[in-house]
Amino acid sequence: MADENLSLVLYGKQDLRLENRPIPEPGYGEVQICIHDVGICGSDVSYWQNGRIGDMVVTKPMVMGHEPSGVVSKVGEGVVSLKVGDRVAIEPGVPCLTCRQCKTGRYNLCGKIKYCATPPDHGTLTRYFVHAADFCFKLPDNVSMEEGAMLQPLAVAVHACNRVNVHLGATVLVCGADINEDRLKYAKKVGADHTVLAGDPQQTARVIQDSLGGAADVTIECSGAPSSVSTAIYATATGGRIVLVGFGPAEVRLPLLSAQCREIDIFGMTTFANSYPAALAMVTSGQVDVRQLITHRYRLEEALDAFEAARRREGVKIIINCQRK
């Protein structure tokens, strides 16, 4: 296969292929980027295994990947903020910038947003990619390309914390790694004070409260699993807050009366808005070390193996390097 622009393409449910595609050229306000590193997200695996997430269905071939970093290789007309050779992190969603949601700052809710590797928009697991310059962020010299790729999941975390007003001194419960002993051990290694292996929601909530010395002020639910959302409701303090980060089934059965009677606020969220600058500042200053979450590395030529490892839930974060050997 001629390697002009090797790309990882999803054709449909469980049909993932490596193939060559044309190199895209930047238009007005865009830059061409030689992609360096891309992280694999749980949503990537869901699209691969199921061909859809909710109403978002893969109906035609789609390049995968939405956690990228790279180097600017061409600059389109009208771009003054970037130049060839700039190392950048790529915020994967490009909104219309003219609708009500965009004008009020909540551009992640734009009905016309183009988001990498979300049907029908192509993603970044490719040699070359074109993106709006306004949604590319220069990386300081002390931030690696892998760290640049990790800004996307960190931006999700920043947005989640903003949604529920996480503040110093708050007791925070994070649900999502709690059915896997290895991941719980890793969570403890990178900073969790307590970990609990999940089971029956009410029983798990009691164990969580015993561990914390009380109910959680804030719960960040990252799995989307109905049982985990139920646990979040039971484990959150009266008057507390829950934010739903993970995508689960379209309809679920939940103990809403418990949330209602205890005035627990439940917040939805999708991706993020205005979070990349904060995420980049956290990494640049050393306040957040995202490198410790990277456990596996593959090359683009090995992308199918990388996705298999992700499907088996090996490690924590898998990074695919898209540079030629």
Q: Which domains does the chain have, with CATH numbers?
A: 6-149+289-321 (3.90.180.10), 159-268 (3.40.50.720)
pLDDT at 177: 76
Q: For residue 209, what are the contacts with CB-CB under 8 A and spacing of at least 6?
A: 215, 216, 235
**What pLDDT, on a 0 to 100 scale, did the predictor assign at position 2?**
53
> Quick one: pLDDT at residue 179?
81
Rounded distance, CA 21 to CA 128, Å?
9
Q: What is the DSSP letter of 248?
A: -
- pLDDT of 48 reads 98
Task: Output the pLDDT for position 3.
Answer: 65
Q: What is the pLDDT of residues 27-41, one digit of tens each?
A: 999 999 999 999 999
Sequence-ordered alpha helix ranges (H) in 267-325? 276-285, 303-311
Question: What is the pLDDT at residue 1?
Answer: 44
CA distance 275 to 151: 9
pLDDT > 70: percent of the chain = 99
**What's the rounded mean pLDDT across residues 53-77?**
96
